[in-house]
Amino acid sequence: MTAHPDVSVVIPAFNCEAFIGEAIDSALAQDGARVEVLVIDDGSTDRTADVVRGYGGRVRLLRTAEARSGAGAARNVGLRHAAAPLIAFLDGDDVWLPGKLARQKWLLDERPEVGLVCARGVFWYPEDGAGGVPPVEPWAPGEAIPLDVDGWAYHRLLLRPAWVWTTTVVLRRELVERVGGFDESLRLGQDYDYWLRASRETRIQRIAQPLALYRQHADNSTRTAPRQRNYELEIVERALARWGPVGPDGLEIPPADLRRRMGKLNFRMGYIHYWHGSPSIAFRSFCRAVAYTPSAWKVWAYVAASSMHAVLRLRSRGGAAGGEALTARSGPARRHGRS
């Protein structure tokens, strides 16, 4: 391991034997910064740990206290063991492009008031034969780095989580000390919750060029079966309850934009469950979506369709009591924002 690293690279991993080597190689190949690489195995049942051990002293293998604790718990283990003043995150199936850390470290050295620097990334489909990698132009310290975010970003993040992509983030240790750890109760979106909390504490810069590859494959956590919880909606509602729609810089999300955002989050939950055969869950989500976007005819159409399918399913099961529960639980949610 590097004696005095500039950057600690935290890599959560679960059953990514086929990908973890590429992720580690992309971190070790970074120039312009001394790195320590921490891989946190979350109870893998394949050869992920064996692949990591093959790197010897160049990579440190850690484990979560319990298997399948989730990415948030794995990242928290990494945060507790990180030794460098800067901490970077890289998922075990993603890849960094050359020069990523050098650019980010230089920006953080130049701007002490900025606590977090991220970058754009690109979706990568190597298994489908569409694994094109964007070229990265050579860069030397002192040369201009294009930015598409430079300042307080809370209002941006409330409307669009993708403004900060976790596998591109480098942040200061003192920011971690202020924000705390990842919320381990969130099985999805724990990183979105973290960046929202961080955006209340620091200005953020985002490099306006792709510096990482987001690998797409069948086991991506965001592409698995529908969830019972609407994690993204919960996170946004929690942020609004704690801080409201106004950022630390005084910028406020327009109420109409916020209502559209809340409506879309509820509609998306309903749409996924409707087409996966859960009309009751879909119906409740569509009703909440209508509360935010009452003029959206498409949402009303899905309210009607999901209601009909839910009733038919309950009748086929003899579930009269279930029908009463459906009616009782489908009231609109409270709106956020000012009108």
Tell me the per-residue pLDDT of 165-205, one tens digit each, with 9 for 90 and over.
999 999 999 999 999 999 999 999 999 999 999 999 999 99
- Both 192 and 261 in a single domain? no
Give, for 18, the enclosing helix (H) or strand (E).
none
- Both 48 and 180 in a single domain? yes
Tell me the per-residue pLDDT of 55-91, one tens digit each, with 9 for 90 and over.
999 999 999 999 999 999 999 999 999 999 999 999 9
Yes or no: say if 333 and 259 are a contact pair by the CB < 8 Å rule.
no
Query: Which pTM value belongs to this model?
Result: 0.89
- Both 151 and 296 in a single domain? no
126: nearest Cα among 17, 23, 217, 13: 217
Q: What is the mean pLDDT of residues 114-126?
A: 93
**Amino acid type, 56:** G
Q: pLDDT confidence of 254, banded at 50, 70, 90?
A: very high
> Looking at the DSSP assignment, which residues form a beta bridge with residue 206?
118, 149
- Both 83 and 212 in a single domain? yes
146: nearest Cα among 123, 119, 170: 119
Nearest-angstrom CA–CA distance, 17 and 329: 44
Q: Give how far Cα 291 sits from Cα of 25, 165, 257, Å.
A: 49, 30, 14
Tell me the per-residue pLDDT of 282-322, one tens digit each, with 9 for 90 and over.
999 999 999 999 999 999 999 999 999 888 877 877 644 44
Q: Is residue 276 part of a domain?
A: yes
- Both 199 and 84 in a single domain? yes
Q: Is residue 239 part of a domain?
A: no
pLDDT score at 322: 46
pLDDT score at 137: 86
pLDDT score at 124: 86
pLDDT score at 318: 66
Q: Is residue 219 part of a domain?
A: yes
pLDDT score at 73: 98
Number of domains within the chain: 2
Mean pLDDT of the chain: 90
How do 203-215 and 95-96 pair as beta strands? Answer: antiparallel
- Both 206 and 277 in a single domain? no
**Amino acid type, 293:** T
pLDDT score at 324: 41
- Both 14 and 110 in a single domain? yes
- C-alpha 147, offset from chain centre: 20
- Residues of the domain holding 201: 7-223
**Cα atoms in the Cβ-side hemisphere of radius 13 Å centred on 236:** 25
Q: Is residue 334 part of a domain?
A: no
Q: Is the pLDDT of residue 220 over 70?
A: no
pLDDT score at 134: 78
SS3 of residue 218 by DSSP: coil
Tell me the per-residue pLDDT of 263-281, one tens digit each, with 9 for 90 and over.
999 999 999 999 998 999 9
Q: What is the CATH number of the domain that holds 45?
A: 3.90.550.10
**Cα atoms in the Cβ-side hemisphere of radius 13 Å centred on 237:** 12
Which of 207, 223, 239 corresponds to the end of one domain? 223
Q: Is the pLDDT of residue 337 over 50?
A: no
**Amino acid type, 20:** I
Which three-class secondary structure string do you get for the chain?
CCCCCCEEEEEEECCCCCCHHHHHHHHHCCCCCCEEEEEEECCCCCCHHHHHHCCHHHEEEEECCCCCCCHHHHHHHHHHHCCCCEEEECCCCCEECCCHHHHHHHHHHHCCCEEEEEEEEEEEEHHHCECCCCCCCCCCCCCCCCEEEEECCHHHHHHCHHHCCHHHCEEEHHHHHHHCCCCCCCCCCHHHHHHHHHHCCCEEEEEEEEEEEEECCCCCHHHCCCCCCCHHHHHHHHHHHHHCCECCCCCECCHHHHHHHHHHHHHHHHHHHHCCCCHHHHHHHHHHHHHHCCCCHHHHHHHHHHHHHHHHHHHHCCCHHHHHHHHHCCCCCCCCCCC
Provide the percentage of residues in the chain whose pLDDT is more than 90: 81
